[in-house]
Chains A and B, each alone.
Chain A
Amino acid sequence: MQLLDATGEIDDLWPEAGETLPDAGRILVPLERLEQALASPLEIGVHIPNDTDPKSLIPHFGRLAMISVDFPSFADGRGFSIGRCLRGEGFVGRLRATGPVISDQFTYLMQCGFDEIALPDAVASRQPLEDWLSQPELVTLGYQRGRQGRGSILDQRRNHA
């Protein structure tokens, strides 16, 4: 797996949970083990499938430092709405997109509130880092308002007027 964000490749600081949870530190658990993790004193990251109702996580926002959203395929865009929904509901922790997404989706993911992307090795080896890092130069403008990380054309027009 390769982990990257807008700055380039980054270290993964979220070890996946083994059979037993450690006593301290941070841990990444699948959704079905969230209850177990919540009962521990650990710093928690949770990995959710993309048919999860994002609103079901709202009660746990205070305990969740990271949410990883599964992208089973780059063509399955549910995760974009999940990210957007989590941010809209006030999630301020780290948001990760996990799966075989493509570099052309990098900017959109950021705009939907994601911070980082966890890529399978097979995808990472085909799509070199520069493909990802050059995306912000390829896509500098968008019309939609209320998005992260980029001013909207509509707002820029208003400021120009």
Chain B
Amino acid sequence: MYRYDEFDHRFVAERAAEFRDQVRRRLAGHLTEAEFKPLRLMNGLYLQLHAYMLRVAIPYGTLGSRQMRQLAMIAEKWDKGYGHFTTRQNIQFNWPKLKDVPDIIDALAEVEMHAIQTSGNCIRNTTSDPYSAVAADEVEDPRITAEVIRQWSSLHPEFTFLGRKFKIAVTGCEEDRTALLLHDIGIQVVRKDGETGYRVTVGGGMGRTPMIAKELRAFLPRADLLPYLEAALRVYNLHGRRDNKYKARIKILVHEIGIEAYAEQVEAEFAAMDRDAVAAPSEEIERIRAYFQPPELAERSASSPLIEQMKEASPEFAAWVAQNTFPHRVPGHVAATISLKPIGGAPGDATADQMRAMADIAETYSRDEMRVTHEQNIVLPHVAIEDLYKVWKALAAIGLDAPNKGLVTDIIACPGLDYCALATARSIPVAQRIAERFASTQRQKEIGPLQIKISGCINACGHHHVGHIGILGLDRAGIESYQITLGGDATETAALGERTGPGFGYDEVPEVIEKIIDTYIGLRDGDRESFIQTYRRVGMEPFKEVLYAAA
């Protein structure tokens, strides 16, 4: 894991002091509320429906036990005893008091964390693959590049007052787990003729105008990364629309002028730039790389008689191993997913006790490391197969043993009307009611891989556009109405879901989802054809018929 050096420490300490000073100047009237707002947003502080919300950055979703314990402490001391892990691999606290926020920021700095740029019209937390340093087909640990970008994008003097927020993701694999093509800029580490570099995509995004990113550069040499990003951001900053907040993301610029024209301007800016003056020196990249040396895991036998025995004895354990583990490149190990989607829970929520327990488990069984996923779960990246039963028992003791990773109850949901000032409908209770309907482990397994994503307004924080089944909650004359989309996909084969037709009432949603799933089960070509495969084969019609014909 990356560790702060003296400069990182000082940088974050300065930001904490700066924020204290900003609060002081706001209270003294030097800053108006309008002026203070982007400053507090840039420090992760939102004003929500009922209270302030503080969003803490977890760079590329990686955190250690010490950090997780500090988050637990913050949840207990300054919030209501829990936190909410987000689709940007961050955590947010929903109930801090403004006066406590500078103290919280100090507490974060103690464990090398901050809340910088988790909000506002600036470059947000750079996200990455939760299976970094685990996946066998990885070209290189993407977090090396993500850390270079984290530093470069932190309080960038030129790009801190952009037209709109700007999100970057980095992956090291062909198989994408970062929703790369739904990002303002997506970076894939690739190798070409023995040289490591990047494939760069631009202009993806969700929100009210969802778009799939387009390729900007097929191969960018590693040394050119920061100058190229600087050129890409400069063209956006100069030419992106400022007249309408909803048309201010880079996707609109790229869409309006075309990818060719945008690429041409970026290349011209890049060519004219003093690139050496901007690029990260190779020593710096090597310095960062040293922190991401994979842990030395001793090769073990791929099968454990003990674990096989325990699977026989406990179907629940067997189901969890089958569903929640991912092959590790080192034989005898797996990455294990802790599902934050217990049936009836709020997706992504964890209590302080659960956080501390996860920290203990990671310390003992996963080289002191955890990853937050954009699906709002936690991954233990380096677990020996031999230890899986102990890990599972420890998770069961805190109620986080749901064997549902990637299944129908592993739902992404935004906070919705329960917390968010922008929401037009509830999200969390919808997720809870769907999960309750499909609670049976056996039934979930029969249905197979299926992603349901729920947003409580058109800003699409719940990623509904790319859910296999997407649910969008709207307000229709004071009544919640839920639009359903089918066929969305957040991976390397990214696609936007299509609307089934008119929306449904709050109470109808679980029933509607069940009809869709039953229709799929009836149509699938053998029980190995997944929902998305079937949908791609048969199209929208059969689903439409079932949903609307009877009415």
Interface residues of A, Cβ cutoff 8 Å to B: 54, 74-78, 80-82, 84-85, 88-89, 102-105, 107-109, 111-112, 126-128, 131, 134, 138-147, 153-154, 156-158, 161
Contacts and interface: CB of A to CB of B under 8 A. Distances in A.
B7 A156 contact: yes
A82 B238 contact: yes
Size bracket of the B interface: 35 or more
Given A126-B29, A127-B31, A144-B152, A158 B284 contact: yes
Contacts, number: 120
A141 B161 contact: no
Contact of A143 (B14, B152, B287): B152
B197 to A, nearest CB: 20
B14 A153 contact: no
B282 to A, nearest CB: 10
Contacts of A147: 157
A78 B18 contact: no
B78 interface: no
B26 to A, nearest CB: 11
Interface of B: 5, 7-8, 10-11, 14, 17-18, 21-22, 25, 29-32, 35, 38-39, 121, 151-152, 154-163, 226, 234, 237-238, 242, 272-274, 277-281, 283-284, 287
Given A102-B31, A146-B277, A80 B158 contact: yes
Contacts of B121: 75, 77
Contacts of A128: 30
Contacts of A156: 7
Task: Kindly name the residue among A80, A105, A131, A147 whose own CB sees the greatest number of chain B CB atoms within 10 A.
Answer: A80
Contacts of A134: 21
B3 to A, nearest CB: 14
A147 B157 CA distance: 9
Contacts of B283: 157-158, 161
A161 to B, nearest CB: 7
A81 B154 CA distance: 16
B30 A142 contact: no
Contact of B234 (A84, A104, A139): A84
A120 to B, nearest CB: 13
A112 B151 CA distance: 18
A143 B289 CA distance: 17
A131 B237 contact: no
A84 B274 CA distance: 12
B119 to A, nearest CB: 14
A67 to B, nearest CB: 15
B551 to A, nearest CB: 48
Contact of A88 (B11, B14, B35, B274): B274
Contacts of A153: 7-8, 11, 151
Given A153-B8, A153-B151, 13 more contacts: A75-B38, A81-B238, A105-B161, A126-B31, A126-B32, A128-B30, A138-B18, A142-B11, A143-B151, A144-B156, A144-B278, A154-B281, A157-B5
